[in-house]
Structure 1
């Protein structure tokens, strides 16, 4: 049973990243580890319209629309998720934790000028063929009802026994190419400024190399947002996306989609898959 903890303000991300990094060497991840059953709640949330406009610009959404982009509540709730994952009682190390998938359900449009209540909790751990995955659920309430929710999975890599294959969505061949995008080197810094997620792997080649990347990489949630800005979403919608490989900055990628709601992002040659997902209208 979860315990609700009501916050008076959104946690600052930089101290959480630092705290999580310092605690990471002492974590011993495993699927049967104990995890926090705390539900963080942040009432009275209002959107900073200037930051929202910066987010819309860097992700390719139309600016000035009264409705929030379908991915923006993730930005609002991310500090709560980070507070949980950087805590002493969270069993997975924050350093090296990989965002592997997200499922978003939006039940109605969210006005940019509205007032909302955010909450986040850990929904459990599961074995993965490469380690252990944690599921984090974020909810947005408006007028007392859940109007938006997401379930993200984060992977901590470590040695496993025989391995448990991760259940993924339907495998398919490449989708029809729609556009080719040249992604600038500063996308990580621009998205970091708009979202608050200034993880060093996204900001500069030198800091990215410290974590084993040859260059800075784009935020996974930027790649999904950029695809959905091009794809479009109904007012009531369910979005699923899996992150397969990072996008190096700068770089060229191919955006592809079909008429069944599928979308994906591949490298410039079309051989390697970065993101795959689908958009489905939400029916009553």
Structure 2
């Protein structure tokens, strides 16, 4: 099991992933790296945390980490796995489609953590091939305090029959309208380290089929959860339905059953999720 004592630098990983992407031929039955990658002795950079809290709308200066922040801690490990030669999906254009988070206990800003990330499997998707990546965070006593499962989609032609569209869901009660600036992707990228070109500028998003830069899925989820709030022990599920183009306006909705969403002015859902206590 490969073990690191400091997180890998992201810029070389993005460069390696970009260079290898054109040679990748994704398919759901391809081989993939199965060993987890582990980072020991992970500490919290308070300046970076404050930048993250500010761009996502969390209250800054709290003793506990936001529920989505451990994803940022594990992201360099996920990038190292997904930028490697043995990962079959091209890193460029990879789309984050969902995340499920379970927080078992509070993670403090002064804690020391062990983070383990692995590729859990590949699966066919009607628009291509999807990879599942899991992250586990343990405290200094070895207790599992946070875990997640993300799915990432590489879009390509498939032989799968087109699935019927589900019946549209009624919008949740509107609680806010947010106007997103054109640099929102660059600001979140600076705070999180995720500088995928589809989020940075229209010129770097257009080669992947987007007319403008799109917001990070994890930013949309984090922004909703900052508004919604979460208990200490919690399960969060979020599905990223459609990209949020930048600049743009989105509507935040939620109900008393723990459901939340982000939708466009016409009602098109961008993110749908649920917060489940305990």
TM-score by length of 2: 0.95
Aligned positions of 1:245-264 closer than 5 A: 245-264=242-261
**1:128-139 maps to which residues of 2 (within 5 A)?**
128-139=125-136
In the alignment, structure 1 residue 66 sits paired with structure 2 residue 63: yes
Change (3 A) 1:99 1:87: same
- Residue segments in structure 1 that go unaligned for 5+ positions in a row: none
What do residues 1-47 of structure 1 show as CA deviations (whole Å, max 9, x unaligned)?
Answer: xxx11012101111111111111111111111111112100000000
Instruction: Quote the Cα distance in structure 2 between the aligned partners of 1:164 and 1:75.
Output: 34
SS of the equivalent of 1:103 reads strand
Q: Matched residues in 2 for 1:201 and 1:215: separation? A: 8
Q: Per-residue CA shift, 1:125-159, capped at 9, x if unaligned?
A: 11111111110001100120110000000111122
Matched, 1:273 2:276: no
Match of 2:240 among 243, 249, 264: 243
Task: Using the TM superposition, give the Cα deviation of residue 208 of structure 1 relative to its aligned residue in structure 2, in angstroms.
Answer: 2.1
Q: Is the CA contact (8 Å cut-off) linking 1:263 and 1:276 kept in structure 2?
A: yes
For residues 268 and 171 of structure 1, do their structure 2 counterparts lie closer, same or farther at Cα, with a shift above 3 Å needed?
closer
Is the 1:24–1:92 contact (alpha carbons within 8 Å) kept by the matching residues of 2?
yes
How does 1:49-198 map onto structure 2 within 5 Å?
49-142=46-139, 143-163=141-161, 172-198=169-195
**1:212 deviation in Å?**
2.5
Q: 1:280, 1:145 → 2: CA distance?
A: 21
How far did 1:111 drift? 0.3
Q: Which whole-Å CA distance do the structure 2 matches of 1:252 and 1:94 have between them?
A: 28
- Tell which deviates more after alignment, 154-163 or 192-201: 154-163
Query: Any residues of structure 2 matched to 1:17-36 within 5 Å, and which?
Result: 17-36=14-33
Deviation at 1:171, TM superposition (A): 6.9
Contact 1:27 1:93 in 2 (8 A): yes
Deviation at 1:268, TM superposition (A): 2.1
Structure 2 unmatched runs, 5+: none
**Aligned equivalent of 1:6:** 3
Distance in 2 between the 1:19 and 1:54 partners? 27
Give me the whole-angstrom Cα distance separating, in 2, the residues matched to 1:42 and 1:148: 15
Answer whether contact 2:18 2:92 (CA < 8 A) is retained.
yes
Distance 1:97 1:193 in 2: 19
Q: How large is the Cα RMSD of the aligned pairs?
A: 1.6
- Name the CA distance, whole Å, in 2 between partners of 1:201 and 1:160: 23
SS in 1 for 2:191: helix
TM (normalized to structure 1)?
0.93
